[in-house]
Amino acid sequence: IGSLELLMSLREAGHGVATVIIIFCSDLTVAIEAMRAGAADVIQPGFTESELLECVERALRQSHAKWLL
């Protein structure tokens, strides 16, 4: 199962888990599909530790904001 399929399965099951998807292709359609499916962010390999931490922090902020609504 790929990350996009996993994300869609989680959403269909009603799980609101904040997700950061790592994609291994340069096809923007995959990134767009992931964002439409509810991914908080999409990142490609070659990222630095600080870039990954920034993505995770952004995902957590988005998730926290949804809980406050």
What pLDDT, on a 0 to 100 scale, did the predictor assign at position 67? 64
**Cβ(23)–Cβ(3) under 8 Å?**
yes
Cβ atoms of residues 22 and 7 within 8 Å? no
What does the pLDDT read at residue 1?
Answer: 67
DSSP classification of residue 40: S
- Letter for the amino acid at 18? A
pLDDT of the residue at 42: 92
Q: pLDDT truncated to tens, each residue of the chain (69 aa)?
A: 688 888 888 888 887 778 888 888 777 888 899 888 888 899 999 999 999 999 999 888 887 776 665
Q: What is the pLDDT of residue 19?
A: 86
